[in-house]
Amino acid sequence: MAKKNIDSPYSAALGGGGFLFEETNALLPLLQSPDASELLKNEIVHNRLLHMNAERTRSKAVLEIRRRYDMMSPEFWNEYQAMSEDNRRAALFYVILKTYKIVFDFHVGVSMKKWRSIDRKVELTDLMIELDEISARDEFVDSWTDATKRKIASAYLTILRKSGMCDKSGNLSPLKFDNTGFYLYGLGEPWFLEASFMPPYQIETLKQQTI
Give the Cα separation of 81 and 78 in Å (integer): 5
Examine residue 174 and state whether it is found in any structural domain, yes or no: no
The one-digit pLDDT tens for each residue of the chain (211 residues) are 445 566 899 998 886 668 999 999 999 999 999 999 999 999 999 999 999 999 999 999 999 999 999 999 999 999 999 999 999 999 999 999 999 999 999 999 999 999 999 999 999 999 999 999 999 999 999 999 999 999 999 999 999 999 999 999 999 999 999 999 999 999 999 999 999 999 999 999 998 886 5
User: Is-contact 58 50, C-beta < 8 A?
Assistant: yes
Give the Cα separation of 195 and 108 in Å (integer): 7
Please give the pLDDT value at position 1.
43
Examine residue 36 and state whether it is found in any structural domain, yes or no: yes
Examine residue 40 and state whether it is found in any structural domain, yes or no: yes
Q: Of 45, 71, 97, which one is at a domain's C-terminal end?
A: 71
Please give the pLDDT value at position 208.
87
Domain count, the chain: 2
Which structural domain range is residue 203 located in? 180-210
What residues contact residue 104 under an 8 Å CB cut-off, 6+ apart? 97, 98
Q: Of 54, 71, 88, which one is at a domain's C-terminal end?
A: 71
Q: Is the dihedral of CA 148, 151, 153, 156 positive or negative?
A: negative
Please give the pLDDT value at position 209.
83
Mapped onto helix, strand or coil, the DSSP state of residue 166 is strand
Q: Of 71, 92, 117, which one is at a domain's C-terminal end?
A: 71
Examine residue 49 and state whether it is found in any structural domain, yes or no: yes
Give the Cα separation of 8 and 141 in Å (integer): 8
Examine residue 135 and state whether it is found in any structural domain, yes or no: no
